[in-house]
Amino acid sequence: MMIKTTTHVSSLMQLSLTTTTKTTKMTMTTTKMMKNKKNTRQRLEIERLSRTTTSATASATSSNRSGDGLILQTGNDDENAFDSVAIGAPIVKYFQSKDANAERWVMWYTGRRRSNSNNNNNNNTDDSSREEEQKETKEEVQQFQHDESLTSGEIGIAVSNDGIIWRRGGSPTEMYRTGGDAEAFQDLSIDVGAVLYPNNEDWWVFDTSHVSVGDVHMISSGSIAAGGVYWMYYQGGDKEEVNGVEGVRTRPGLCLSQDGRNWARIEGEHHTHAVLDVGAEGEWDELCIRDPKLLLAGPKDMRLFYHSIDKTTNVSRIGVATSKDGFVWQKNRQGCIFDAGPKGSIDDLGVKSPCVARIGKNDFVMFYEALSSKNPGKSTICVAKSKDGLKWERATAPALSFGSEGSWDEGGVGRPYVVPMAENKLRLYYEGRCKETGLGSGIGLGVSVGDDMYSFVRRQSVVSTAATAE
């Protein structure tokens, strides 16, 4: 196993295999970082976030103004921005500083730019030619429920003092140095750009065409000040064409960082450097492995949940792989662990993008993106529960539905990521999609209300939708 730097080697403080081995200690994980802190300030925060409603379920499905939920939109004010066309797949973490009343929020997300080139790749392809190629392959892309971001995806970062108002760029360490000072936060001089991009150095690797964030955990420390190592699992697509489309056969990879911004790729055991390969011909996950999410279930019990798509039926299913160290993974021998629901159900066309957490009485709770024949082309976010993480019982109604007509997320909601808060409340960060393109038009925030912590309403937006990507 080897470490391959992507940029700014010196900032990684010469990460070594010895260091990474030590980081597998499970005593302090992001689960611990998100431990409930029952103090007055947080209770006020919950009250502020939870909008008054007579029916949580009704509000989640029908009462959505055009901007409700939106907290971060595409960077379309800059045509060269890596996220100028599409934005989504939020991974959100928060950290407590030495001052218990100060928080540092960090978000990693996936963006797509207007052309297939990026600031770090030497790509001389003419934009007009590329656009024509994309038009020619659009039908094949749709066949696999993919979008054009598969050939231009990059990973970016944003920071926040409260998890609501976000600023592009920065890093967790920069946030720490502000000391909770709002003015200092606004005065930060930080670069807005991708922190991980397709690999243009080695043609044979799994992520030459596309990268998208899967999950990020700080392992070995729950404090930015104390230091620790960020582990990012992500999906990458290569140049292999499937029905004439690049980037379809995605695999998961791993990279490490000490500041959350500068990353070093870890070369996995597969010959493409992926940490896990797609299935053999005829297996349920032979086409791809998508949206890998890590659950630290216990000592030497790391679980990587993901989904794949049946290339003949277009039905997506969810699977899991396990590991003791985070480097070597074994898939579940029984195949997928969660399939599409029965005909007429909320997820009869497929299930994808799982986010699994331990909530309540150590139960496994899965938030996932559901596809239904009742609303073809528009995904919802649903919930399932399990005692062992293998056998699941699904809810009968969505936790969050797509937006109402004219809203920024009318085209669907997906790629959920849940952050536990105080008082048994949850924040649900998600990707909202444009009706016309199906691409991620913004990142949204839903909050659990009432006694049912798995029903969500959109938080009233602090972002104008006037500049939302078309």
Other Cβ atoms less than 10 A from the Cβ of 328: the count is: 14
pLDDT band at 4 (very low <50, low <70, confident <90, very high): low
Residue 122 has pLDDT above 60, yes or no: no
Instruction: Name the residue with higher pLDDT: 276 or 191.
Output: 276
Contact 15, 3 (CB under 8 A): yes
Residue-averaged pLDDT of the chain: 77
How many residues are listed for the chain in this entry?
470
pLDDT digits (tens, 9 = 90+) for 304-320: 999 999 988 889 999 99
Burial per residue of 168-189, b for 16 or more beta-carbon CB atoms within 10 angstroms, e otherwise: bbbbbbbbbebebeeeebeeee
Q: What pLDDT score does 161 carry?
A: 87
Please compute the mean of the pLDDT values over residues 266-294 and round it to a whole number: 96
147/431 Cα distance (integer angstroms): 14
Q: Is the pLDDT of residue 146 over 70?
A: no
| Highest mean pLDDT (candidates 60-69, 193-202, 209-218) | 209-218
Q: Give the span between the Cα atoms of 409 and 403, in whole angstroms.
A: 5
Find tokens 């770090």 and name the residue. Answer: 120
Could you tell me the domains of the chain? 2-458 (2.115.10.20)
The pLDDT of residue 208 is above 90? yes
Six-digit token string for 74: 């595409």
pLDDT band at residue 103, thresholds of 50, 70 and 90?
Answer: confident
| Pair of tokens at residue 27 | 């005593």
pLDDT at 336: 96
DSSP state of 196: B
Query: pLDDT value at position 49?
Result: 37
**Encoding tokens for residue 428?**
């649900």
Model confidence at 368: pLDDT above 50: yes
Amino acid 436 reads E
Q: What is the rounded (10 degree) CA torsion for 211, 212, 215, 219?
A: 30
User: What's this model's pTM, rounded to 2 decimal places?
Assistant: 0.80
pLDDT of residue 10 exceeding 50, the answer is no
Question: Which residue bears the tokens 């006020």?
Answer: 44
Q: Percentage of the chain with pLDDT > 90?
A: 49
Bridge partners (DSSP) listed for residue 381: 369, 400
Task: Specify the DSSP element, H or E, that contains 33.
Answer: helix 30-33
* pLDDT for res 305: 98
* Model pLDDT, residue 353: 97
Least confident of 94-98, 266-270, 273-277, 284-288: 94-98
Q: DSSP character for 400?
A: B
SS (H, E, C) 65-109: CCCCCEEEECCCCCCCCCCCCEEEEEEEEEEECCCCCCEEEEEEE
Q: How confident is the model at residue 221 (pLDDT cuts 50, 70, 90)?
A: very low
Average pLDDT score over residue span 8-29:
34
Helix, strand or coil, per DSSP, at residue 378: coil
Q: Which DSSP helix (H) or strand (E) runs through 316?
A: strand 316-323
Q: What's the pLDDT at 3?
A: 53
Could you tell me which residues are beta bridge partners of residue 236?
A: 211, 251
User: For the chain, how far is it from start to end, CA to CA, in angstroms?
Assistant: 43
3-state helix, strand, coil in the chain (%, to 5): 15, 35, 55
pLDDT of residue 356: 97
Q: Is the pLDDT of residue 48 over 50?
A: no
Residue 348 near residue 342, CB atoms below 8 Å: yes
Lowest mean pLDDT among 63-77, 200-214, 271-285, 288-302: 63-77
Which 8-state DSSP code applies to residue 118? -
Residue 232 clears pLDDT 90, i.e. is over it: yes
